[in-house]
Structure 1
């Protein structure tokens, strides 16, 4: 269990408090092997969150909560230009001495820089405050682009959408890129299914199931990694249970036991989930007909693809493609650009446009 302490100072933006909970909570909810515990800690002098709709918060932890944390997250706050309280500086330095990771969100980087921990290291903050950060802390190498900066064990980000980029970076470090990609999909790519039937004779299904197939992942360092990668590279072939066992050098019984223990799925269930994943990516990025996608994914016929896609995602391939394109169009228009026709394979590139479009307004 990894403990993450979010340190709230007076005037902390509300979305920077909810962002970590959304990110790490989503990762835990969709991956049985991921375990995070989130502690919200308050510093002396906290009265309320920042504008435009301040609210009071009360937590069981004060600065002492940082003592048991593996990671400390420091959101922005109203008084970021002021010298931080001595007890806050001491708590952050003590966390660093214990080997904790420390991540700063938005103007939280000013407070972290005031501790001296970022001297001689790279860091970033919201774009409109980057030049000021460089002036106030000349020993810090400031990245003005507002992207996530990894200066292990210190991390910083612009604070867009509550610092989700930073949280996803930490999830990647802890559990690998597949878990982070799925987590981001769950956050940003929620399908808004039509109120009526999606296809003739097909009832609409809750959007929460839309990304269910993305749970087919193996843990970083898993002994099954070479075999699952081989499976994913040969999805178009009619792989059998014996084929998979032979590649893994195991009996069918041992293979099934290992898969259940490490993924919660049988080998053939994992194979089917991987095929649905590939179908989702192909639907997202191009205009190939369903017949071609069925062949490339090893699902054989369009009818078979539709059947399994509906079962695992709660929608049809056609509805999935339409909804994804609609979402991409919305995000690119929000960024002041024309909608794209060829959408990216990973959600990071898609959601980046909407994050960047509001970066200048992030605290």
Structure 2
């Protein structure tokens, strides 16, 4: 039907236009009488082409009638604002490139950074207050020396923080090493501490008791030998040959037991110090209990959009483990996360849904 109407209209327009170009075509407008008045009889007044400035005409955007609005500061005014900022900071252009910050402490560097940042922000704020927009890169070119100075101060401040952190770490390392050394140098005082050398320790104790029995009790200890008290008997007591021989044998056994105790092969390292140092280092190097990884999914109560069901939520999204589309549910669907089945959470703490955080739906969208 529409094709027939188009063909009919096309034929009608073609016929009408062709009639207009025929030589015998007649139209009422062709017979209108035209009166021509010469300029000498009735001249045209020339005033109508003069420029007339209308009232309330702002001549905006650089119209030829007047000057347009001011859209930026002149180069002289920008330079003056830059110099004013230097005066407030008590700086000059030479000081911006000198090594003025070498002797500054961390607190002084932080204060200097705040002062320079305030002046840079003042320039942008004044510009926006006057022209309703922030200045672009070229309009802030005059402030480039101050920006470079701010960056230098910021870098120095960061280096100072790193140095302080390194010093703190060194102090912690020294404290840890001192504590380890003190633990390693502690004397053995518990039964479990002597288990690796129990045999040698018992032999030493027995020999020490034999020595104490062999020497009379009225003589006080005057010297030490390898950790055992040796009483110096009187000359008359030592003249007895059997007692003197027994004393010499016990002393030799005590020395041998003490040396065996000190250089026992049951120790790791070099004897007693090596064993205690090794035990202290092993205790410090024990692995700590692994902490549970934090939840990386959406927060409970937030609106989420389920893209596909039964697919894992990973820190790197897009990896789908199992997809089982349900024909009665049209995905994606927006729900609250507390309505998602929380039993669908694997041991790593990731929800068994591939979802993205979404804004709350409008009425009738859920």
Output the TM-score relative to the length of structure 2.
Answer: 0.15
Q: Which has the larger radius of gyration?
A: 2
Q: Which has the higher contact order (CA 8 A, sep 6+)?
A: 1
